[in-house]
Amino acid sequence: MAISPYRLSSRQYLMTAMRSLWSATAAPGPSLEQLAGDVRAQVTIIGAGYTGLSAALYLAGAGSDVVVLEAVDVGDRASGLNGGQVIPGVKHDPDTLEETFGPTTGGRLVDTVASGPDLVFELIRKYDIACAATRTGWIQPATSGSALEAIAGRVEQWRRRGADVELLSGPETARLTGSQRYSGGWIDRRGGTVQPLSYVRGLARAAANLGARIFSRSPATGLERTGSEWRIRTPRGSVTSSTVILATDAYTDRLVDPLRRTLIPVPSFQVATEPIPEKLRQTILPGGQSASDTWHLLRYFRLDATGRLIMGSRGTFADVPLTVAARHHYRAVREIYPQLAGIQYEYHWGGLVGMTRDHLPHLHEVAPGLLTGLGYNGRGVAMATVMGRILAHWARGAPAAELGFPVTSLAPIPLHRFNQIGARLAIQGLRALDGLARVRDRFLAVGSAP
């Protein structure tokens, strides 16, 4: 399985390439063994990211005997590589969820997705996870007049449900982001930031302390049903259990091929600057919020605890030099924060985002006792933590109707192998749409594009 779509191109990048800021600054994780020999467990979890470890935490806390198998190490994939923005909700607005699923199921779904940040910050507090957590809110600045209209509707829908959200005027957005680039936006005070790798390592430590057995460098290479049990093979051992949770999201491999074909893994890429000098730093996100804007190919950005700016956006599917992969990000920094002209970039890294066709996470029973939750569409810090809890309840026997999230049947994407091409074409199309919007907004003088 390809680990990274990027390659190293120059001596300069050999120093920093693909070493994430998070791996350079994270609190250490628990030291883990590789699985050797044949073991039994009540529940086996495949994948040690937020989904798998949150499930392990709840299962072990409820007294279940759990084994977690991780192909590489805890947080080596999306959960340790992401932007660390704790974002409430999913891509769809709450009214849309209720219209799609009906008032009862949809209403419970809205409550479930809205509970994500509370759950993340509660686990951090309860298990004393040192991950530089801040709960100062998440901002979505608008890049166009039409985006601002959609945001106004979103704010109204969440306010109706009692959420602490607020529509921001142009000057308020400029003050909170420190950028003149946006015409307005909204702030969702339920959100915040974490050091994502420290957070996932903290979950692992907490789950292990409760008795979960977590094995690194132990990829599940085979999965067989024997009677009422599953046997999962790894290179040096096996686990037998009645229930298996697949928590592999964008990194789902051919172990369960139909599941892999329900997702499109899309690369996302980030750069981090050197620590910004104090005086300049005060001009950028001075309230400590994180932000993701409304371009189709959105840019997401925040400061870390040492005052580096982290800028994330689409990655590239092609095997290109990092300089090429990062060009778009340098341009975004220049556009949003021209005051940072001349700043040096010290970290460059990327990962895969699990996208679904309906832009919703999915919860499935793939086969009897084989459960999965995945497809967070770039909003997994909170949602994958919630999904882990849902999967744990389900594995312990909660009826599907009481999970607070609809269980759907597996729907592999037709012609999946051509969908990578489709995704590339879609990205080109979205880039073109964003380009048109930029031109239109300059013409209409919406915002203050440089």
Ligand X SMILES: Cc1cc2nc3c(=O)[nH]c(=O)nc-3n(C[C@H](O)[C@H](O)[C@H](O)COP(=O)(O)OP(=O)(O)OC[C@H]3O[C@@H](n4cnc5c(N)ncnc54)[C@H](O)[C@@H]3O)c2cc1C
CB of 267 to ligand X, least distance (A): 8
Q: C-alpha distances in angstroms, 231 versus 40, 52, 70, 222, 224?
A: 9, 18, 16, 8, 5
- 163 in Cβ contact with 190 (< 8 Å): yes
List 35, 45, 55, 71, residue binding ligand X (CB under 6 A): 71
Residues 6 or more apart in contact with residue 195 via CB below 8 angstroms: 22, 25, 26, 27, 84, 131, 132, 133, 304, 305
Strand partners, 371: 245, 365
Residues 6 or more apart in contact with residue 102 via CB below 8 angstroms: none
List 56, 69, 131, 168, residue binding ligand X (CB under 6 A): 69
Q: Does 259 bind ligand X (CB under 6 A)?
A: no
Return the range that interacts with ligand X (CB under 6 A); candidates 78-86, 146-154, 178-186, 395-403: 78-86
Nearest to 385, CA basis, from 122, 146, 187, 159: 122
Between residues 309 and 446, which has the closer beta carbon with respect to ligand X? Answer: 309
Between residues 264 and 446, which has the closer beta carbon with respect to ligand X? Answer: 264
Q: Between the CA atoms of 304, 431, 147 and 288, what dihedral angle is there, to the nearest 10 degrees?
A: 0
Question: CB-based burial of residue 190 (10 Å sphere; 0-12 exposed, 13-18 middle, 19+ buried)?
Answer: buried
Q: At which residue do the structure tokens 């945001």 appear?
A: 151
Q: Between the CA atoms of 161, 162, 163 and 164, what dihedral angle is there, to the nearest 10 degrees?
A: 150
Question: CB-based burial of residue 166 (10 Å sphere; 0-12 exposed, 13-18 middle, 19+ buried)?
Answer: middle
Residues 6 or more apart in contact with residue 443 via CB below 8 angstroms: none
Between residues 151 and 382, which has the closer beta carbon with respect to ligand X? Answer: 382
Residues 6 or more apart in contact with residue 104 via CB below 8 angstroms: none
Q: What x/- string results for residues 5 through 44 when contact with ligand X is judged by CB under 6 A?
A: ----------------------------------------
CB of 57 to ligand X, least distance (A): 12
Q: Does 79 bind ligand X (CB under 6 A)?
A: yes
Q: Does 271 bind ligand X (CB under 6 A)?
A: no
List 16, 85, 216, 273, residue binding ligand X (CB under 6 A): 85
Q: Does 379 bind ligand X (CB under 6 A)?
A: yes
CB of 393 to ligand X, least distance (A): 17
Between residues 34 and 180, which has the closer beta carbon with respect to ligand X? Answer: 34
Q: How many residues does the chain have?
A: 450
Strand partners, 33: 215
List 192, 219, 404, 406, residue binding ligand X (CB under 6 A): 219
Between residues 69 and 119, which has the closer beta carbon with respect to ligand X? Answer: 69
Residues of this chain, 137-196, that bind ligand X according to CB under 6 A = none
CB of 145 to ligand X, least distance (A): 26
Residue nearest to ligand X according to CB distances in the complex: 380
- Distance in angstroms (rounded) separating the CA atoms of residues 358 and 372: 17
CB of 354 to ligand X, least distance (A): 6
Q: Does 248 bind ligand X (CB under 6 A)?
A: yes
Between residues 155 and 384, which has the closer beta carbon with respect to ligand X? Answer: 384
Q: What x/- string results for residues 290 through 329 when contact with ligand X is judged by CB under 6 A?
A: ----------x-----------x-----------------
CB of 18 to ligand X, least distance (A): 12
List 94, 184, 185, 378, residue binding ligand X (CB under 6 A): 378
SS3 state at 237:
strand
List 151, 212, 247, 309, residue binding ligand X (CB under 6 A): 247
- Distance in angstroms (rounded) separating the CA atoms of residues 91 and 95: 12
CB atoms within 10 A of CB 285: 22
Q: Does 447 bind ligand X (CB under 6 A)?
A: no
Interface ranges with ligand X (CB under 6 A): 46-52, 69-72, 76-79, 81-85, 87, 219-220, 247-251, 253, 255, 268, 270, 300, 312, 350-353, 374, 376, 378-382, 384
